[in-house]
Amino acid sequence: MGRNGKVILVGAGPGDPGLLTIKGREALQRAEVVVYDRLVGPAILAMMPEKAEKIDVGKAAAHHTVPQWQINQILLDKAREGKVVVRLKGGDPFVFGRGGEELELLEENGIPFEEVPGITSAIAACAYAGIPVTHRDFCSSLHIITGHAKAGAELTIDFDALVRTRGTLVFLMGVTAMPKIVEGLLRAGMDPEMPAAMVESGTTPLQRRCGATLRTLPERAAEMGIHSPAIIVVGKVCALADRFCWFDKLPLKGKRILVTRPKERAGTLSDKLRALGAEVWEYPCIETVPIRPCPSMAAALDHIADYAWLVFTSPAGVSAFRTELRRMGKDGRYLAAVKLGAIGTGTARALSEMGLTADFLPTVYDAEHLGRELPAEGRVLILRAEIGSPALTQALERRGIPYDDIPVYRTVYQNGASRALRQALEAGELPYVTFTSASTVKGFAATVGEGADFSRTLGLCIGEQTAAEARRRGIPAAVAGEATIDAVVALALEQ
């Protein structure tokens, strides 16, 4: 038998990907196997390494796709294969997450393990709902209780002791047992008018808060249709929720927006939209694949002195160029005699990350303006996609500027979730979709498939050329004020 691997229990937090700790993210990034639950948010699942083995054990209320004993065995077996195994759990693994049970079998078999704490929903969901779990004017203690009992068993909660604490009570996994929890507290003498709340899908864009008194909570929750996952909060601090509920006031709260950027560049736009409260669906329908080897780029760079300008139309082109420059054993000093042109701020930023400064950006960040406005100072070397916009080279030709247009990467249209996307589209569940290039429009349409009805989906487009491609495919389009990610976000805010 070979050397054992290692198991890392990672708390993924309650749903907001921004609440995953730095240490948790680092552990996830080096995982060779990821064993995850239903309550881990999709944005966090998207961080799993592509090459990692992914095992969905799908634990949900009253239904475990994989029983606990089998999950424990999976962790042991995968560690014995010498793998780095991340057990990814919603919230915190040690706060009613059965993390201790999972470690027992590992410890008995001599498997190394770690536990990375996560932010528990008992704290985070309350915070996002405007409920401070402690406050000097209202309480001096906080109590976290499980509202879930083993199958067939009754709740074993000492309600009399809880009422005597006069503290804030947070019940996890208590949706089904909520009427019994309320009855138990009332029977133990708690004031029927005590402020109470339920927070459903806390810290996610789907979050809803049900505010009530202890007496009216069951009726109010039933009226709203509150369902799992949700927490129950009882205590005077719940009266502060209307004043402190910052999350529900975010400008994009309640809006679902599909992001189509390539996976490696989706993060910036998605993060900005999430920060404003949007429910973001990441659907990277295109992938940029560098052309390797690329003899035409190598030959052009060997004669870089023949060019007055080196022009890039995307960060992907900069990335391919950087790889080739390293292969040649060169750095930025090699470009001393050539000026650099970039189609926009994103591409200029990619150059900046190489320690290079773009000498020219057009007034409008698109191919036509780049070709129309680039100073006519000599031959131009363009490093871009295999199928790039003809507007750039057509503009250069009209001005009599010589150029070499070299493809350094290919755009591949693909996404494994196309069926689910089409179903959501046809059900009218995708009111907004972002397009940051004509390629993302083509990729979106290709993966959804022919005959799709786009009439109820508005394309939020980075520029006129992108919008024109959307309209050609029957997608209503709105255009950002300028060709930047921030302008696309501003466009979303206007809707």
Mapping DSSP onto H, E and C, the string for the chain reads CCCCCEEEEEECECCCHHHCCHHHHHHHHCCCEEEECCCCCHHHHCCCCCCCEEEECCEECCEECCCHHHHHHHHHHHHHCCCEEEEEECECCCCCCCHHHHHHHHHHCCCCEEEECCCCHHHHHHHHCCCCCCECCCECCEEEEECCCCCCCCCCCCHHHHHHHCCEEEEECCCCCHHHHHHHHHHCCCCCCCEEEEEECCCCCCCEEEEEECCCHHHHHHHHCCCCCEEEEECHHHHHHHHHCCHHHCCCCCCEEEECCCHHHHHHHHHHHHHCCCEEEECCCEEEEECCCCHHHHHHHHCHHHCCEEEECCHHHHHHHHHHHHHCCCCHHHHCCCEEEECCHHHHHHHHCCCCCCCECCCCCCHHHHHHHCCCCCCEEEEEECCCCHHHHHHHHHCCCCEEEEEEEEEEECCCCHHHHHHHHHCCCCCEEEECCHHHHHHHHHHHCCCCCCCCCEEEECCHHHHHHHHHCCCCEEECCCCCHHHHHHHHHHC
Respond yes or no: is residue 16 known to be catalytic. no
pLDDT in the model for residue 213:
98
Share of the chain above pLDDT 70, in %: 96
How confident is the model over 281-307, as pLDDT tens digits?
Answer: 888 887 888 999 999 999 999 999 999
pLDDT, mean over the chain: 91
Choosing from 16, 59, 83, 366, the catalytic residue is 59
Q: Which domains does the chain have, with CATH numbers?
A: 6-118 (3.40.1010.10), 123-247 (3.30.950.10), 256-285+414-494 (3.40.50.10090), 291-411 (3.40.50.10090)
Band (pLDDT 50/70/90 cuts) for residue 64 is: low
How confident is the model over 237-262, as pLDDT tens digits?
Answer: 999 999 999 999 999 998 999 998 77
On the question of pLDDT at 151 being above 70, the answer is no
How confident is the model over 75-104, as pLDDT tens digits?
Answer: 999 999 999 999 999 999 999 989 999 999
pLDDT in the model for residue 1:
43
Mean pLDDT (whole number) for 472-477: 94
How confident is the model over 403-428, as pLDDT tens digits?
Answer: 999 999 988 876 666 777 888 888 88
pLDDT in the model for residue 425:
87
Band (pLDDT 50/70/90 cuts) for residue 361 is: very high
Respond yes or no: is residue 59 known to be catalytic. yes
Choosing from 6, 16, 37, 160, the catalytic residue is 37
